[in-house]
Structure 1
Amino acid sequence: MIAKFCSAKAKPTVMANYLLNDRLDDHTAQCIYGDKNVWLNKMRGFKANHPYLSFVYAFSGIDSEKLTPEIEQNVIQQFLDVYCPEIPKPFLNILAVKHEDKGNNEIHILLSNMRYDSNKMVRFSPSHKGEYLKKLQLLQKKINNQHGFENPNDIKQTNTIIDTFKMLKTSKERLSCLTTLIEEKVADNQIGSRDEIIKHLNQLGFNVNRIGKNYISIKNDEMRVSVRLKGVFYGEDSINEMIRYRHNLKSSKTGSGFSLDDEKELTRIVDKHAQKLKQSFLKYQNSTKALNKQNDIQRQKNTKAQNIKIKSRKKNNGKFSNAINKISRAIKNIARFAKDHFKQSDANKQTKLTDRRITKAKSETSKLLARFFNSQPAPYTTTTGVIIETNKINKNESHTKINKN
């Protein structure tokens, strides 16, 4: 199994539709974690140059046969533990799809680069100054060791040997190349008998022409002459010979598993990543608290200013009421003055008419003064109140002037 990151330049909608397209009907693709619609709905409001990670587990033909639903969920969980340490799943947006590619199975994971408890972008695959690649290799090695998957280094070496074999011209060189390949497969316990050697050679494109007591004769389309593989591995007692060969190997050749030192190193890198994620989240929380505190202070200032404004308005309303009362008293003084200087019999009708006019004048004056005082600042209101008070009509002074006339 090979673990790798792929390019994430495609838009989220394009990527999700590529993984879950017509292959769903052909049963060559299956969503094994998350939901496509939920993943896309969360991604719509996220604008960034790289809004998601694209991670792939690529399995060989042999590894694909070993896959079970339990193993699939386990490898997905290990990816989340390594790349999203100490982040609860409800705050992650994940979509995992199992599909076939060139006859082999792949598990494709799409991870949104956002924490949904803070709605902030997060780097789930930081470089750690060169430790990014090391973490990826250790995760790959750990999963291969746990579930018995093929080592990609061995696969790469096998492909190199086959490519080299095609370039060789002499039978001696080709024989040495194939012998080296078989010995490495036996040493890694990937081949355990002569029958398995024949099966592996057939998979590589070789045809077995003849099987002898201690040899195998093979040929392919690019070879004019057959090559005969000789030795204890190709005889009737090949199983015991291969066991003896592995037993005599040096320990350095068999130490390809996931060691305790590898586990410690992976834990150290993951803890370092978790610490960075924690510091980033604490920074967000502190900035949020500071912002909320500022908002509270501003809210208190606005409330205080509003209260002051209300008090000022009430105070102005009091001044406004005093002015209205003074005007009302002045108008009543005029009415009394009119009644005193006309004959009582002729003044009754005039008094009633005057009372109506006074009532109407008071109503209109109240509306005009209310509109005026509400549109003017407090100092102007005070000054106006003084003017009204100083211009108040005195009954005795008016009475004196009329008598003189």
Structure 2
Amino acid sequence: MNEPSSSQSLFDLPNAPKFERFTALPKFDGVPALVLDVPESIPALGYGSHQFFRYYGKFPSLVGREIISAFSDADMGVLDNYSGSGTTQVEAQIAGRDSYGIDINPLAVLASNVKTAYQDARKLDAAFDLVCRSAAAIAPYEIQATPSDRLRKWFSEESLQGLGRIRAAIDELEPGDEQDFLTVCFLAIVRRCSNAHDGEVRPHVKLEKKPRPPATAFREKYLDMVDGLRELDTMRPKSIKSKTVIGDNRTPKAYAELLTEPVGLVVSHPPYLNSFNYFNAFSLEIMWSEGMTNVWQGWTLRDVTGLEQKAHPATNGRLVESYYRSISEASAQAFEVLRPGGTLALVVGDATIHGRLEAVHRNVWDSLKTSGWRPEAVWFRTTHYGIGKYAYAHRADYHGEAEKKDAIMFLRKP
């Protein structure tokens, strides 16, 4: 590790304002400790393809960028075994590192692969124009697995018809990059075209909401994604490999499918204890992805929800035990695929249970120290709260007297 000094920025965006990202702290358990500051707003963190698909619970893009810059080598791959929608992979690609991902959410896996794919702009435009023409005349796709009364709770008849026609037109495309890109574009507008509150994690009806017309939302999202793709292409070298797969990160099978040689850095971002369970957050998108082979890749909803690492409710003692055990098992698999001297960057946050602090980061740290890992460093993360910022005031905050901490713990394989 090239240890950053106080107030040093490791990796700033071209032409971006310079922020003093790092502040030194007293050592944590004998290793260097720093505060990593992320003051940028959500839009500022959505550069390149990061804004393609709204994925709840992802870490800020610049956190991934700083980790990769400090703890990876150009000739060694980067793996994220809680990949989400591919924040780590995009940042690895910008840094010129091959990257790999594992996640249990098929929507996220497709988004990750689309966000890192090298696209042909002319083919994308042709496919988009074809979908728009077809959607004007084609019979709409009708969701089969969801009862009609539930569908009409979330979608007006206009939205059902409009989304159904776009979905049917995308289904007619040849499988490949263009269909995948437009599938992500489509799934990204589902909530905008629903009666659900746009800003809440778990869908609930917002009575005063005016849903976006699907055709308008689809066109606007496509243009936004194309702009992001152009920006990404100015930031990343050509032909940097990235691949994400659906799989259980606690077992060797997913890693064997993905990797042919050891990696130099594993980034792990498990769900925070007592946070939401992810599949509930994406229930509307899951409705509209039924039967899409490029999304589900032979898996079923029952398959993946059965493997989901539950984080809520933490009042369930057995769930808490399972939560810690899952992190240990995923970390053990990371140990196996790291080269000697490689680093695990584990991103965890504390929780409260019945108002009592659960020191998750310290508990996980102590557990991993006894499992063969060599402690290297700890970064504590702070964000600035307010409208348009990354997080909100009821989350962990290091500017006041808060006890909860978001920690990035770095441990090395001897």
Which has more radius of gyration? 1
TM-score category, normalised to shorter length? under 0.3
Of Structure 1 and Structure 2, the greater strand share is in: 2
Q: TM-score, normalised by structure 2?
A: 0.25
Of Structure 1 and Structure 2, the greater helix share is in: 1
Q: TM-score, normalised by structure 1?
A: 0.26
